[in-house]
Amino acid sequence: MASSSSTLASLNLLPGDCDCQDAVRTLNTLQTNASYLEQVKRQRGDPQMQLEAMELYLARSGLQVEDLDRLNIIHITGTKGKGSTCAFTERILRNYGLKTGFFSSPHLVQVRERIRINGQPISPELFTKHFWHLYHRLEETKDSNSCVSMPTYFRFLTLMAFHIFLQEKVDLAVVEVGIGGAYDCTNIVRKPVACGVSSLGIDHTNLLGDTMEKIAWQKGGIFKRGVPAFTVLQPDGPLAVLRERAEQTSCPLYLCPPLEALEEGGPPLTLGLEGDHQRSNAALALQLAHCWLQQKDRQGVGEVKASRPSLVWQLPLAPVFQPTPHMRHGLRDTEWLGRTQVLRRGPLTWYLDGAHTSSSVQACVRWFRQALNRHKEPRSGTEVRVLLFNATGDRDAAALLKLLQPCQFDYAVFCPNLIEVSSMDNADQQNFTVTLDQVLLRCLEHQQHWNRLDEEQACPEPGGPVSLLLAPRPAHSHSTSSLVFSCISQALQWISQGRDPVFHPRSPPRSLFAHPVAGSGANVLREAAAIHVLVTGSLHLVGGVLKLLEPSLSQ
């Protein structure tokens, strides 16, 4: 690792001249490059040592683990819905007049989104100030005998969030686990006020294990002695593992009653996030907020109703209470970009959901189909459905794509999570953990999976799928045309055909519509009365799309 002064020199900057983008560029040097990641996967060491290393970084930054107790943390893990649960929880407690901190990952448009005060990403000035303070502190305290002088990207941001929350004197911090739980770097927290587990599923198998039970063991690693923990209903095997983990650590674990139980005797609860699957996230958030308020002797926590014991794996049922107006308004006002989000732009409707596991994609499909029916407007003319998809890491793209088949898309579009072919001038979107060749080959594999699935299901039709990156292949019988673009911008240009009133890209390259299928598809999209576009498979893809469709998010 180069010294901070040499890093600044390479950027032709003086410390006093560093703006937020300079800080983000330097932060990006802490990303693990693609070749090193492969080496780490082959030679993974003791994960407990990773947690101990995080505590050393915390000490070098000027804090002790005990200092984190002052943050009154709510620690939340899970496979799907943990970010939404965090967002609901934070919004509810902010409605009580509390000053909230919120640490989440990944970011969609700007890295500052990961660290929020009162629901808002920290300002560029605050980010820059704390970044350089922490960066220089870690540089000054590095051990000359150590080969690793700086924490990796996510660790650095976790440390930075703790420093900011302490300096800003938040009343509480909602902290989302990065990956897993037991060995996640957020798990240096020793005394959270409450812990939560959202729905479990299969994800990050190379790190967490390849069964739900193994993954549940990792997630239950955030349980702490005497700290109340809450879980939504899980399959029997993982739920049993969570119960065992709780017993081992003397952690009181409660099963969340369904949202319907809290609605009895009052008006139905309105959620700011669409989709039936958000109801379990909201139920968990209500329990976490209710517990935090009780632990801190706050008034107005909601009248507890008569509760029945749970018979599921001998877990006690969390209290059934009447949600207060603060809680109701918090659920209603929650916003969480890129999750079941809808943008309506003239003839185009964009449906954005960063689902990337089998269970979350199933929920996404249900939401998308319901949204199509719910918002159906009488139109004369053709309606076109477009899928924009990418998947990264060790996800089973073929399985995810198979789940998306029932949506009956007219076009399936694949592209890497790159806004432009070159993202050098956009530090927030830079990713050094993969190479361009790797991501383009992955997109071509996604296209091939889709084509095979389509061929299995479709009735014979003339024409077939094509790739803009491959020579045309012999025609087969397919019901969907598929295309691969080299970046998000080109994909959106082809899909929108200049009809989105906000998205105004530079003139597309001549080759963009050169292929016959791209050209004929462009004509269809230009003439369509309505275009419904589902963007899913990756939160990073959704973030890149949002950056282009909502320029205000970059300000």
Annotated binding site for ATP: 339, 353
Identify each DSSP E strand in 282-369 by its residue range. Answer: 341-345, 348-352
3-state secondary structure 99-155: CEEEECCCCCCCHHHHEEECCEECCHHHHHHHHHHHHHHHHHCCCCCCCCCCCCHHH
Report the relative pairing of strands 73-77 and 383-389 from DSSP bridges. unpaired
HSE-up (13 A, CA, CB side) for residue 521: 31
Q: Is the dihedral of CA 256, 257, 259, 265 positive or negative?
A: negative
SS3 assignment, position 62: coil
HSE-up (13 A, CA, CB side) for residue 467: 20
Query: Measured in Å, how far apart are the chain's first and last C-alpha atoms?
Result: 31
Residue set of the binding site for Mg(2+)? 105, 176, 204
Report whether the peptide linkage leading into residue 106 is cis, meaning its omega lies within 30 degrees of zero: yes
SS3 assignment, position 25: helix
Residue set of the binding site? 105, 176, 204, 339, 353
Largest CA distance in the chain: 72
If one counts every other C-beta atom within 10 angstroms of the C-beta of residue 119, the result is: 14
SS3 assignment, position 213: helix
Structure tokens at 278: 């958000």
- Judge whether 78 and 222 are in contact, CB under 8 Å: no
Q: For 292-301, which contacts have Cβ atoms below 8 Å and span 24 or more sequence positions? A: 292/72, 292/74, 292/93, 292/172, 292/193, 292/194, 293/93, 293/96, 295/193, 295/194, 295/228, 296/72, 296/193, 298/96, 300/96, 300/324, 300/326
Structure tokens at 41: 């996967």
CA 427 to each of CA 123, 249, 415, 419: distance values in angstroms, whole numbers, following the listed order: 16, 42, 20, 11
Q: Which of 403, 410, 342 is nearest to 375 (CA)?
A: 342
Q: Which of 75, 89, 68, 86 is nearest to 293 (CA)?
A: 89
DSSP line for 66-112? GGGGGG-EEEEE-SBSHHHHHHHHHHHHHTTT--EEEE-S--SS-GG
Query: Degrees (nearest 5) of the Cα angle 180, 181, 186?
Result: 115
DSSP line for 498-513? T--SS--PSPPPGGGG
If one counts every other C-beta atom within 10 angstroms of the C-beta of residue 474, the result is: 5
- Give the distance, in angstroms, between the CA of residue 520 and the centroid of all CA atoms in the same chain: 35
- Is 281 exposed, middle or buried (CB count within 10 Å of its CB: 0-12, 13-18, 19+)? buried
Query: Degrees (nearest 5) of the Cα angle 170, 114, 87?
Result: 70
